[in-house]
Amino acid sequence: MCRAQVRKIVRERIDRGLLINLTITVVKMENDTDGKTAKKYLKVSLSMSLYIRMAYQELKMRGKTLQEHLIEKGFPKLPPRTILFHARKPVFDETEDMRKRNKGRPRKLTERDSRKLLNSLKELRDGEEAFCSKQIHEASGIPRDTVSNRTIRRRLNEMEYFYLQSRKKGLLTASDYKKRLRFARKNVKRPASFWQTEILFYLDGVGWAHKNNPKEHAKTLRTRTWRQKKEGRKKGCTAKGKKEGVGGKMVYFMVAVAYGKGVVAAMPYTGPINGAKFSQLVDANFPKILKKFRHYKSRYFMQDGDRSQNAKQSLSAISRSGLEIFPITPRSPDFNPIENIFHLISVQIKQDGLKLDIERETYEEFQTRCFQTMMNFPKDIIDKTIDSMPDRMRAAIKDKGGRTKY
């Protein structure tokens, strides 16, 4: 029974000149381990409180007379002070909860301190290294002996800043914004079929670090930074370069994916890539790739502006193969759908180390596992990723050349 219903019943019975006869719940006593009766804290319900008020104020019962009357009606034995406390309360008026007046202890951080924290956070983003809440605290100039680091973290959370994972994308310059916007406007009207068939395949290099214990590596955290959830693609919220090469020998592949065909090539190579090495990969593998597109008239393929892939030797090898590059703007991995495929493959390779319970793995075994994971990657996911190209162009235009969600 809610408070409003109880009060309605009280009013009706007073109008009829009757004493309230509400249902009273008797609190049973429980036995403790020693077999003795143990008293528990008794909370006086609203119906009990209203009955006490009416008996005290309407029937003029006092002292032991009131206490004995309550026991006869089935009330538990209440202390005299508790009975008097409830008896003097008004029957119909709402009483104010005094606890609401207590606003708690004063904040240790003022609004000015909050602004200092926010300014320090933005200044630290321009640096070259990752930072934590202790560095924000120190940079803000707020005394560490009066304000704890936990208070700093909680205030940052109140301002919707959290210690979240960094995105591994390069930082954009003002010139990059203009180039990206120009590229998006030029290609936004292209039909979906252009990205499916006119672009024969999407090419890029990828590498993964070999770890002796893949199971433990799968449990490690990636680079994090203090940022808001909605600004993951802004300057200062991205990792300063890739970190996956740290702590292990790298496995490198030059990979090509195509619509309706999945991964059409995964070309392994060792060491840093350069023009001579890339041209050798082109001469050895592009003729085999082209056989899969013998019925296609187009000769375009997409790759980014990597120096090794656009060196003089590389361009000569591409020209000999009869193909042409469909270039994208610098620092625009979201314009090349193969980057999304690499991310999904990376996640699968890392999770396989945990799912398959791989505690020891040689470099050759790891290279074979990476190759098989790529070649068996689902074609429908690759097709769905390529189908998003028109949406990527529209998103870049909407954000005036800024980062998209892709």
Tokens for 342, please give them. 């690499």
Cα 388–Cα 390–Cα 395 angle in degrees, nearest 5: 90
Tokens for 53, please give them. 């008020």
Which pLDDT tens digits describe the chain residue by residue (406 residues)? Answer: 555 666 666 666 555 544 444 433 333 333 334 444 444 556 788 788 888 888 898 888 988 899 888 888 888 888 888 889 888 888 766 556 666 677 777 888 999 999 999 999 888 877 655 678 888 999 999 998 889 999 999 999 998 888 877 665 566 788 888 999 999 999 999 998 899 989 999 999 888 887 766 666 555 555 677 777 767 556 556 654 444 444 467 889 999 999 999 999 999 998 888 889 999 999 999 999 998 888 888 889 999 888 888 899 999 999 998 899 998 888 888 899 999 999 899 888 888 877 777 778 888 888 899 999 999 999 999 999 999 999 999 999 998 888 888 7
Domain 174-222+229-398: which CATH class? alpha beta
Please state, in angstroms and rounded to a whole number, the distance separating the CA atoms of residues 81 and 402: 69
Encode burial over 17-37: b for 16+ CB neighbours within 10 A, e otherwise.
eeebebeeeeeeeeeeeeeee
Instruction: Quickly list DSSP for 88-137.
Output: TS-SSSPPP-GGGG---SPPSS-HHHHHHHHHHHHHHHTSSS---HHHHH
**Nearest-CA neighbor of 170 among 27, 335, 6, 29?**
335
Phi then psi for residue 349, to 5 deg, are -60, -40
Q: Count CB neighbours of 403 within 10 A.
A: 25
Q: Domain limits of the chain? A: 3-29+38-98, 111-159, 174-222+229-398
Tokens for 136, please give them. 């924000």
